[in-house]
């Protein structure tokens, strides 16, 4: 489930906040509060809340409390939570930009490195994959990352539209698996029950169902059928996704 932030912010205000030169020196006395400080506090607050409540618990009040200021003072710098989320997204994306350009890598390696970078971002900032990005606002870090990846893929000789769809499909895949994993971790935090304890509680009922003869295929499954982690699921799906790309690309696949 994603937050309803996509249509509840002013895109022009978000773009102005993202692209204005915020590092230019201020005249007179330095301000007690800055936009960068607000974004930093918002990311830290969201990281804490994401373990249990998710983004629904992130409010302007909770951010102001962390900063030790009044809630209304935040609105001098950012119109609302929607625009602030745009700034937060671009901030964390910038944390995972590689130092090297990855030149000389094949397309599989380029996409795999990008997928693992996005996965780490989702794990470190577990609110990130729950933000509605159906109408994304591209800030400097977002645009730079997309420009970098497409630039590394273009030597493949595939049309730009196909490259963009490959990047988009992979991004949706990574965030989809990340959401499932994060929801599982949140359930442990909320209930105090591990995944193993949750399934052990259901074991007597499930065993009875398996012995009933109504579910012969399920009853005959190997004992190791469900013995995998989300990290293994992520790697398996990513490789199969790339296999599909390779089949589509044919001789152009590297």
Neighbour-count burial for 66-81, b at 16+ CB within 10 Å, e otherwise = ebebeeeebeebbeeb
What is the rounded distance in angstroms from the CA atom of residue 5 to the CA atom of residue 234? 27
Supply angle C-alpha 168, 244, 231, rounded to 5.
70
Average pLDDT on 132-148 reads: 89
- The pair of structure tokens assigned to 236 is 């398996």
Across all residues in the chain, what is the average pLDDT? 88
pLDDT band at 22; cut points 50, 70, 90: low
Regarding pTM above 0.75, the answer is yes
C-alpha pair distances (Å), 27 with each of 24, 31, 35, 76: 9, 10, 16, 17
pLDDT band at 97; cut points 50, 70, 90: confident
Q: Which residue has the higher pLDDT, 4 or 15?
A: 15
What is the rounded distance in angstroms from the CA atom of residue 144 to the CA atom of residue 138? 9
C-alpha pair distances (Å), 92 with each of 42, 123, 125: 11, 12, 8
- What is the per-residue pLDDT for 23? 46
For residue 232, pLDDT over 80 is answered with yes
| Maximum C-alpha span of the chain | 80
**Structure-token match 């509680």, residue found:** 201
- Angle, helix 35-49 to helix 81-95, in steps of 10 degrees: 80
- What is the per-residue pLDDT for 141? 93
- What is the per-residue pLDDT for 57? 87
> For 65-91, how does the pLDDT look when each residue is reduced to its tens digit (9 = 90+)?
999 999 999 999 999 999 999 999 999
Q: Could you tell me which of 46, 139, 169, 152 has the C-alpha nearest to residue 108?
A: 152
- What is the per-residue pLDDT for 253? 56
Which positions ≥6 away from 191 have C-beta within 8 Å? 198
For residue 109, pLDDT over 60 is answered with yes
The residues spanned by each domain of the chain are 11-179
- What is the per-residue pLDDT for 20? 82
For residue 28, pLDDT over 70 is answered with no
Nearest-10 Cα torsion for 227, 238, 146, 151: 150
Superfamily of domain 11-179: Tetracycline Repressor, domain 2 (1.10.357.10)
């Amino acid at each position: 489930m994603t937050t309803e932030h996509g249509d509840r912010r002013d895109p022009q205000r978000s773009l102005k906040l993202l692209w204005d030169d915020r590092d230019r020196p201020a005249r007179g006395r330095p301000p007690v509060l800055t936009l960068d400080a607000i974004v930093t506090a918002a990311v830290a607050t969201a990281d804490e809340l994401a373990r249990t409540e998710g983004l629904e618990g992130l409010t302007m009040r909770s951010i102001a409390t962390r900063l030790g200021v009044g809630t209304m003072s935040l609105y001098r710098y950012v119109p609302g939570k929607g625009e602030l989320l745009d700034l937060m997204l671009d901030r964390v994306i910038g944390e995972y930009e590689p130092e090297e350009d990855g030149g000389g890598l094949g397309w599989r390696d380029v996409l795999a490195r990008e997928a693992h970078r996005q996965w780490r971002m989702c794990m470190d900032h577990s609110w990130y994959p729950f933000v509605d990005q159906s109408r994304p606002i591209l800030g400097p870090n977002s645009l730079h990352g997309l420009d970098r990846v497409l630039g590394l893929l273009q030597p493949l000789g595939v049309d730009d539209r196909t490259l963009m769809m490959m990047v988009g499909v992979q991004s949706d895949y990574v965030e989809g698996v990340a959401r499932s994993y994060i929801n599982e971790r949140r359930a442990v935090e909320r209930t105090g029950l591990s995944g193993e304890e949750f399934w052990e509680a259901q074991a007597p009922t499930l065993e009875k169902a398996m012995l009933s003869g109504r579910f012969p295929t399920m009853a005959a499954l190997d004992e190791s059928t469900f013995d995998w982690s989300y990290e293994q699921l992520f790697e398996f799906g990513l490789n199969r996704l790339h296999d599909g790309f390779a089949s589509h690309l044919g001789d152009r696949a590297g």
